[in-house]
Amino acid sequence: MKKFFLALVVLGAGLLTGVAGAGEVKVTWQDPDKYADIRPGNESRDNFRAQVFKELGQVFTDLAKKLPDDVQWSVTVTDLDLAGDVRPMMRAGGNEIRIIKDIYWPRMSFNYTMTNATGQTIAEASENISDMGFMMSRPLNVGNGSFPYESRMIEDWFQKQLKSNKFPAK
């Protein structure tokens, strides 16, 4: 029953991140059980994963709006290591909390493909991004949700791709 529920959560999260089309991106979360770290603190694993997939999927969706309308972007996330580390608390109940320290920086691995209106591939790569200086970087935006360090890491990577002309700009 738990596996069925998790499958529904993952499928639902995938649908929330969008279907490939003009100004949109299709994000696939491949084998999340094998990710380095998407462990929750004080909530259920399924709910936490759904929140991760929804919020980080929305980051990709917002970035896709900066691409020309005829570009279709497909992203397959193959690994994720959230900022911080989950540790058991030293008190009754054995709850866990996520400790954010500079030695636990965010990382993400993914593959992507961009195609134009005729279906021709215009950009394709496998990426391993990280932000070792995530606690010393520019200040976080107030509205970055529950995963501000990861959101900023993805946004910074995207901006570098635009500046280096690896991605087409609007």
When the pLDDT of each residue in the chain is averaged and rounded to a whole number, the result is 84
6 pLDDT above the threshold of 60 = no
Q: Which residue is associated with the tokens 């770290």?
A: 37
**pLDDT per residue as tens digits for the range 62-112:** 999 999 999 999 999 999 999 999 887 755 566 778 888 999 999 999 999
C-alpha closest to that of 112 among 103, 123, 104: 123
pLDDT band at 11 (very low <50, low <70, confident <90, very high): very low
Q: Give the pLDDT mean for 19-41.
A: 84
Please give the full DSSP string across 58-121, using - where no structure is assigned. HHHHHHHTTS-TT-EEEEEEEEEE-SSEEEE-SSTT--EEEE--TTS--EEEEEEEEE-TTS-E
Could you tell me the pTM of the whole model?
A: 0.83
